[in-house]
Structure 1
Amino acid sequence: MDRKITKKIKLGNMYVGGDSRISVQSMTNTDTRDVDATVNQILNLEKAGCDIIRCAVLDIASADALKDIIKQIHIPLVADIHFDYKLALKSIESGVAALRINPGNIGNIDKIKMVAQAAKNNNIPIRIGVNSGSLEKDILEKYKKVCPEALVESALRHVRILESLNFYDIGISIKSSNVMHMIESYRMISEKVNYPLHLGVTEAGTLWRGTIKSSIGIGTLLSEGIGDTIRVSLTGDVLDEVKVGREILKALGHIEEGVKFVSCPTCGRTKINLIKIAEEVEKRLANCEKNIKVAIMGCVVNGPGEAREADIGIAGGNGEGLIFKKGKVIKKVKEENLVEELMKEIEKL
């Protein structure tokens, strides 16, 4: 399905929405006031392929620290703010690329107007972030439960506030830990507005469960042409959020560069320790920037076929394996040497 073309907004040196590529986001879990720790984490996220980073702004000291953080990183920084409009104003002063704030939660209309005007003056967009744990009491009373309709109504309420102040550089996220609620909410909001959408399953869980839930939720919507930027929320290493996010985009064809990795699930025909080999190869290719497809196959049934489609690959035998390059066998190697010989050939590509 063709991707929906939404309004394009600018975050620092990049764009979200419109015809711009789908970006991958993450959020630091350091104390924002600890500039060195926060910068170090962001630089590592950049290396992993993170396009946009968000930092929690809990107090004025955090907001003030952002200016020193921004000087040392290379990707747009979004200030994540709840309730206090002064933190938004200070973050703008510190030079953030965007705000994540719900205008209805930061006070009366005069306070909201101050933030919107400061954001407009500095060409800073605002992302409205609604999730199932922060619905307004009156909306919960209306629907009697958390549901997609309630989430969308809450998001639209915040959108209308900004629109009433002639502010239109808006992004929207409607997240839920319930994957089906998340999917339906984004489908509904996509029909009602043309603002760029930030996709994510909130509180998705640990690496294993969170990857599954995020892949289903984000992947389903992207396959329908919905979504402009994504964040995989995991309880664990933030680097994994970026890795999973990029793999989702690769699987759907939104990222062409980098290693595409294929390996078979093994069966009774497999006569080498393919699981160990595949894990080691994948680990060693983690930071490889070559635009190649690598196939690690357990036997000659599917191996040569997959290897023929790959730039390079292995087809296992009995205690040995064949290394294929561009569909042709280039060498037969003992099992214990397969990984090293494969990596040598990859280096030559």
Structure 2
Amino acid sequence: MVESAMRHIEYFESLAFHDIVISVKATDIDAMIGNYRLLAKKCDYPLHVGVTEAGLPGYGTLKSAIGIGTLLLEGIGDTIRVSLTGDPVNEVHAAFEILKATGRRVTSPEIIACPECGRIQIDLEKIVREVQERIKGVKKPVKISLLGCAVNGPGEAAEADFGLAGGKGEGLIYKKGKILRKVKESEMVDALVAEILKDS
């Protein structure tokens, strides 16, 4: 595929045409990544990256995130395309999430949350979902740490723009590494969201 792309480039260059963007997308992630890595070494034209026919949202999004994300983290890729079966709105949403996860275009908050181990003493999943829902309109690229225990919570929350370190039915609200106050579990979402919205 790369050889074919190079032949086309040579043809266009022979016509003094240089407004070129190149795509060597493939369904197989290994092939796709290999194609772009090789092409990036052979030319300086902008590269349009993506995994073709990735499938339904879910598996297809994961497949696209691995392929596109790998290349973006290596500095390869100028434009991206997520190809999913179904509503194209899902493709746009997935593309923005890939850009956000790789730090290439962060236009909304990033929520960092722990995987709920045996130390959790609050309903963290419910809290994460509520916070995520209530800050949907926030366009500021801030990091929000939501952790459910006193072991990792304080350290992670202190490194984020906003944070919650949960404990037994209560937690600490953080802003820019500083503890603002202690709140009951029933007040956590309101208290944290109020601080986030104040800064937005």
TM-score of the aligned structures, taking structure 2 as reference length? 0.89
- SS at 2:61 equivalent: helix
Q: Deviations over 1:213-255 (max 9, x none)?
A: 1121112212222111112222244333333323333333323
* Secondary structure at 2:190 match in 1: helix
Please say if 1:196 is aligned against 2:196. Answer: no
User: Partner of 1:282 in structure 2?
Assistant: 132
1:281–1:234 CA distance, 2 compared to 1 (3 A): farther
* Aligned-pair CA distance for 1:191: 2.0
Question: For 1:79-99, what per-residue CA distance to the aligned partner results, in whole angstroms no more than 9, with x for missing partners?
Answer: xxxxxxxxxxxxxxxxxxxxx
Q: In the TM superposition, what is the alpha-carbon distance from 1:267 to its structure 2 partner?
A: 0.4
Structure 1 segments of 4 or more deviating over 4 A? none
Measure the CA separation in 2 of the matches of 1:208 and 1:256. Answer: 22
Partner SS state of residue 216, structure 1: helix
Q: Which residue of 2 aligns with 1:228?
A: 78
Confirm or deny that 1:264 pairs with 2:101.
no
- Per-residue deviation, 1:257: 4.5
AA in 2 matched with 1:298: G
Percentage of matched positions with identical amino acids: 56
- Residue 191 of structure 2 is aligned to residue 341 of structure 1: yes
Partner Cα distance (2:178, 2:44) in 1: 49
**How far off its partner does 1:256 sit?**
4.7
Aligned to 2:58: 208
Q: Choose from 10, 15, 20 the match for 1:170.
A: 20
Structure 1 portions without partners, runs of 5+ = 1-150
Deviates more, 1:198-207 or 1:323-332: 323-332
Between stretches 154-163 and 194-203, larger displacement belongs to 154-163
Match of residue 332, structure 1, among 160, 182, 185: 182
Q: 1:302 aligns with which of 147, 152, 168?
A: 152
CA distance 1:183–1:279, shift in 2 (3 Å): same
What TM-score, normalized to structure 1? Answer: 0.53
Report the RMSD for the aligned CA atoms in angstroms: 1.9
For residues 36-64 of structure 1, the C-alpha deviation after alignment (integer angstroms, 9 at most, x for no partner) is: xxxxxxxxxxxxxxxxxxxxxxxxxxxxx
